């Protein structure tokens, strides 16, 4: 199975949908592509080629002119505004510093900040960084200290969107929602009548809700009652999905949809291996020689992806975190060398009680 650039998100969505039938799946192609691009900046050879093939140029295009804007301490303080913020972070223990070339490139092209600390302090540093980057939507990415011989690369992205035309909360009522499993649950359903950008497309209905800045929108595809959503997804790619937007036209109608409060987490390594990234995960094969000053033979141990999406009557709050844990061979500490070939001092002392028994200054042999 192959995917690259814009199709990466749909490819991952299909894989996780197959692995977790009936469950909700939410991925952030933007976060994953930026994380892979950050990883590729420290790679070489076949490792770099595989990463570039999968990530494409989407990450650099996304970040062009977009840097990690300061967010409010909590997203509910943002007020009525639509914004996107992206940040990248590099962590290394003091004895495994990133190379100057890699750190400078990551800062220049991907707005990355570099952190260094003892492994025990890494969770506090990285969790605080991620909480700031995502406005508190994703407060934690590390539950325990990383291995002292490892590196951590992290991406965070947050989207705060206010509807151009909000829903009236008084019209929100509990209605049945039919789950893929066949269960029916009562869900808080928002409702709004008016004009929408809407189209009947092959397999179902498509509707677009703009945010208060027209650059961003929320699109909903509802399959026909006889159309299996998984079967439709299996035939859909990014280019086809984007092309459906050309069918949207201003149409009068009514929309009823549930409020959403979604969270998803998954290990990306098995999925990325199926999509063509192999060398990066193989110790002894992975080439990240450009990443560290010590040229330690690192490989990617895991890539954890987390997403949060909240949709209500006023708009949308969404955040994603992609965390790359890199493992390497232990760096052998250089044994010290003490050549006593010049005048020296010595003592013979007692530790209980603490007392000097002899004190000598050897100045000649």
The per-residue pLDDT for range 237-296, each reduced to its tens digit, is 888 888 888 999 999 999 999 989 899 999 999 999 999 999 999 998 999 999 988 777
Report the percent of the chain where pLDDT is more than 70: 82
Q: Note the pLDDT of residue 68.
A: 42
Q: Which two tokens stand for residue 57?
A: 């140029």
Q: Note the pLDDT of residue 64.
A: 62
Q: Note the pLDDT of residue 2.
A: 53
Q: Note the pLDDT of residue 242.
A: 85
Q: Note the pLDDT of residue 71.
A: 45
- Judged on CB neighbours under 10 Å (0-12, 13-18, 19+), 308 is buried
Domain limits, the chain? 7-158+261-328, 169-258
CATH fold, domain 7-158+261-328, is Antithrombin; Chain I, domain 2 (3.30.497)
Q: Note the pLDDT of residue 204.
A: 86
HEC profile for the chain?
A: CCCCCCHHHHHHHHHHHHHCCCCCCCCCHHHHHHHHHHHHCCCCHHHHHHHHHHHCCHHHHHHCCCCCCCCCCCHHHCCCCCEEEEEEEEEECCCCCECHHHHHHHHHHHCEEEEECCHHHHHHHHHHHHHHHCCCCCCCCCCCCCCCCEEEEEEEEEEEEEECCCCCHHHCEEEEEECCCCCEEEEEEEEEEEEEEEEEECCEEEEEEEECCCCCEEEEEEECCCCCHHHHHHCCCHHHHHHHHHHCEEEEEEEEEECEEEEEEEECHHHHHHCCCCHHHCCCCCCCCCCECCCCCEEEEEEEEEEEEEECCCEEEEEEEEEEEEEECCCCCCCCCCCCCCCEEEEEEEECCEEEEEEEEECCC
d(CA 272, CA 308): 21
- What is 169-258's CATH number? 2.30.39.10
Taking only the tens place, the pLDDT of each residue in 84-101 is 888 999 999 998 999 999
Whether 285 contacts 52, CB under 8 Å:
no
Q: Note the pLDDT of residue 354.
A: 54
Whether 280 contacts 296, CB under 8 Å:
no
Query: What would you measure as the largest C-alpha separation in the chain, in angstroms?
Result: 102
d(CA 90, CA 40): 13
Q: Which two tokens stand for residue 343?
A: 């005048």
Q: Note the pLDDT of residue 358.
A: 46
Tell me which residues of the chain have a pLDDT lower than 50. Answer: 65, 67-78, 330-334, 346-348, 350, 357-358, 365
pTM for the full model? 0.85
């Amino acid at each position: 199975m192959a995917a690259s650039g814009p199709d990466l998100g749909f490819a991952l969505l299909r894989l996780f949908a197959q692995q977790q039938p009936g469950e909700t799946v939410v991925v952030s192609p933007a976060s994953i592509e930026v994380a892979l691009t950050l990883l590729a900046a420290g790679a070489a050879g076949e490792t770099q080629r595989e990463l570039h093939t999968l990530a494409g140029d989407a990450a650099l295009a996304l970040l062009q002119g977009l840097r990690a804007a300061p967010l409010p301490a909590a997203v509910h303080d943002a007020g009525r505004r639509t914004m996107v913020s992206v940040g990248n972070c590099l962590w290394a223990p003091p004895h495994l510093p990133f190379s100057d070339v890699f750190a400078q490139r990551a800062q220049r092209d991907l707005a990355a900040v570099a952190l260094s600390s003892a492994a025990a302090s890494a969770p506090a540093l990285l969790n605080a960084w991620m909480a700031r980057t995502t406005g508190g939507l994703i407060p934690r990415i590390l539950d325990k200290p990383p291995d002292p011989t490892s590196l951590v690369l992290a991406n965070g992205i947050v989207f705060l969107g206010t509807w151009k035309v909000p829903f009236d909360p008084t019209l929100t009522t509990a209605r049945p929602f039919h789950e893929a499993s066949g269960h029916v649950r009562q869900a808080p359903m928002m409702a709004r009548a008016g004009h929408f950008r809407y189209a009947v497309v092959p397999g179902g209905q498509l509707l677009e809700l703009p945010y208060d800045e027209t650059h961003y929108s929320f699109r909903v595809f509802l399959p026909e009652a006889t159309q299996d959503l998984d079967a439709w997804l299996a035939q859909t790619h990014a280019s086809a999905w984007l092309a459906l937007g050309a069918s949207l036209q201003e149409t009068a109608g009514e929309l009823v949809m549930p409020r959403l409060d979604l969270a998803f987490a998954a290990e990306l390594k098995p999925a990325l291996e199926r999509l063509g990234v192999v060398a990066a995960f193989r110790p002894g094969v992975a080439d990240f020689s450009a990443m560290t000053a010590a040229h330690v033979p690192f490989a990617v141990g895991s890539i954890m992806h987390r997403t949060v999406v909240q949709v209500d009557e006023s708009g949308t709050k969404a955040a994603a975190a992609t965390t790359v844990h890199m493992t390497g061979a232990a760096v052998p500490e250089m044994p010290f060398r003490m050549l006593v070939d010049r005048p020296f001092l010595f003592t013979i002392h007692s530790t209980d009680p603490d007392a000097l028994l002899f004190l000598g200054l050897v100045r000649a042999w």
